[in-house]
Each structure stands twice: as C-alpha cells, then as structure tokens.
Amino acid sequence: MTAVTATTTKVRRTQRPRITPGKVVAWTVMAAMVLITLLPFYWILRTALSSNTALAAHPGDPLPVDLTTGGFERALGLQSTEEAIAQGGSGGGLKFWRYLINSTVVSTLITVFQILFSAMAAYAFARLRWRGRDTVFGLFLAGLMVPTIFTLLPNFVLIKQLGLVDSLLGISLPTMFMTPFAVFFMRQFFMNVPREVEEAALLDGAGKIRIFFRVMLPMASTPILTLGVLTYITSWNDYFWPLMVSYSDSSRVLTVALAIFRAQTPQSGYDWSGLMAATLIAALPMLVLFGFFARRIVSSISFTGIK
C-alpha cells in the first residue's frame, strides 16, 4: 500500500517539471496578461515623476524623464499659480486633502451603516420567525434587478427636496441603509451558522438582540470584512451619483475632483504629469487597502459572485 503511494508520488514528481510547447505558450499568454495589467500602473508613476516639457520631448522613454516631484506638488496644491502654469499646469486649484477627507467620510459612512443594517436585516431573514418573511425577502431580492441609473434621477430629485444636495450626507444616504446584494450576501452566511450555536446562547440566558451582537456578528467577521472591502472600493470609486449631487469643494469626492482636474486643460495641452500624480494619489488608498486584505478578498470573491 505504502509502496503504491510512493510510486505514484514519484511519478507525479517526475512529471511536474516537464516543459511542453503548450506550457510555454500558456505561460507566455499569462505573462502578457500580467504585463498589460500592470503596465498602466508603472506608466502612471513614470509620468508623474517626469516634467511636462521633457515628456513632450521623450514620449517613449521607459524611465521618468527629467525627474521631478512637480506633478505631485501641483496635484496637492503646493505650487503657486505662476509656478504651476510655468510647469504646464492649469493653475486651477485642487484641494486634494479636502477631497481625500470627503471620499473617506462618504465611503466609511456607507460601508459601516450599509453593512450593519444589511446584517441586521439578513439576520431577521435568516434566523427569526415572522409572518411574511419570505415575501418581503423576495421583494428585496427583486431590487437587485433595478438598474442603478433608474433610481438615480428620482433619488436626485428627492435629495434635492430634502435640501441635502452638495452635502456628504446627500452623497451617502441612498446606499447607506442597504443594498439588496449586501442583505443577500449576509443572509447566505447566517443561514449556514449551525443552529446549536444560537441554542447554546439562548440556554445561557442571552436575548436574541444580544445573540446577534455578541455571537453572530463576531462569527461573521470574515464575510463582513470581504463585503466591507468590496463596498468600500465601490463607494470610493463611484462617480455618477457624486457628480450629480455635489457642486462645490465642500462635498466633492476624489473621483469627481479628478475628472474636473482633467477637464481644466491649460493652453499648452494637458498637464499629464500633474494628472498622473493626481491619479496616483486618488488610487493609492485603495491599493494600500487591498495590500492589507488581498489574500482574504481574492480567496473569498468566489463567495460573493456565485450562489
């Protein structure tokens, strides 16, 4: 028996490193895909560290040309208007820190409340007994079918009537309470928690509210983290809704600010170096967030998509 296992593993080991033409092709395709995926990131960095005048002279140089941090200074509003215009900027001000804070506030508000409220509802759908439960859940699920564009116009009208246009709350409100997806996602998890866990806590004299906050929520930390990061990325990257609702710096988020920065074209053509620096600053928080949670997210995306 042991001999058989030994030979099979031996056979496998000798088979593994065999290089076939097919494998070479497959790896080449894989390498090309990785290159296409990552090249833009390098090109952002390379451009951001170049000066606009040098970029025009050496467009194809693989390394930063005329290395400078001027682009970052312009994006962060650290240069005087004359200086910025001299270096190919528009001179238009950008309050990057303000937008960064706005984006953070909006994404945090949406993520925290959406997940808390969706988890609460999901718990009621999965573990509580009440009349009409399946009907209400069906109604929630049907909400998944409504395309976002459809609710955006009426929601804008509503937010305007509430007097919340151009406020961070106005940007956050529509997705702060729930999304059908988040409810569905959390419900899937709660359905799979073994009944005994809850019963044991009930025997210990805990009420259902206590069970939810002290037992169920902590147990759900992994799906909550996955859902949280995905929600954070989605709300951070959202552009259409904030574009509709915000008009001034007080509520402008990074995506909208970036699009405005891109639209402020100086006489000489785009300020590519400043634009790439701004792009990098806008994207960096998500890259850092992903850096922390990558392993978990990548392995649990399966759960979010296929049900």
- Residues 41-60 contacting other proteins, CB under 8 A: 41, 43-44, 47, 55-56, 59-60
Comparing C-alpha atoms, which of 224, 114, 113, 248 is closest to residue 179? 114
Positions 172 through 201 that interact with other proteins (CB under 8 A): 173-178, 180, 183, 188-189, 191-194, 197, 200-201
Q: Which stretch binds other proteins (CB under 8 A): 63-71, 80-88, 89-97, 135-143?
A: 135-143
Contact string (CB under 8 A) for other proteins, positions 91-130, x = contact = ----------------------x---xx-xx-xxx-xxxx
- 72 binding other proteins? (CB under 8 A): no
> Rounded to the nearest whole angstrom, what is the least distance from the CB of residue 154 to other proteins in the complex?
4
Q: Which stretch binds other proteins (CB under 8 A): 72-80, 82-90, 91-99, 286-294?
A: 286-294
- 5 binding other proteins? (CB under 8 A): no
Say if residues 190 and 126 touch (Cβ distance below 8 Å): yes
- 247 binding other proteins? (CB under 8 A): no
Please work out, in degrees rounded to the nearest 5, the angle formed at the alpha carbon of residue 147 by the alpha carbons of 300 and 115: 40
Q: Pick from 54, 105, 136, 169 the residue near other proteins by CB under 8 A.
A: 136
Query: Which CB atom, from 101 or from 215, has the smaller least distance to other proteins?
Result: 215
- Alpha helices per DSSP H over 58-179: 70-75, 81-86, 96-127, 133-142, 148-161, 168-176
- 300 binding other proteins? (CB under 8 A): yes
- 90 binding other proteins? (CB under 8 A): no
Say if residues 119 and 186 touch (Cβ distance below 8 Å): yes
Positions 202 through 221 that interact with other proteins (CB under 8 A): 204, 208-209, 212, 215, 218-219
Comparing C-alpha atoms, which of 168, 177, 128 is closest to residue 250? 168
Comparing C-alpha atoms, which of 285, 273, 201 is closest to residue 237? 285
List, as one string, the DSSP characters of 33-77.
Answer: HHHHHHHHHHHHHHHHTS-HHHHHH-TT-SSPSS--SHHHHHHTT
Helix axes 272-305, 221-237, angle to 10 degrees: 150
> Rounded to the nearest whole angstrom, what is the least distance from the CB of residue 130 to other proteins in the complex?
4
Q: Which stretch binds other proteins (CB under 8 A): 67-75, 81-89, 90-98, 167-175?
A: 167-175
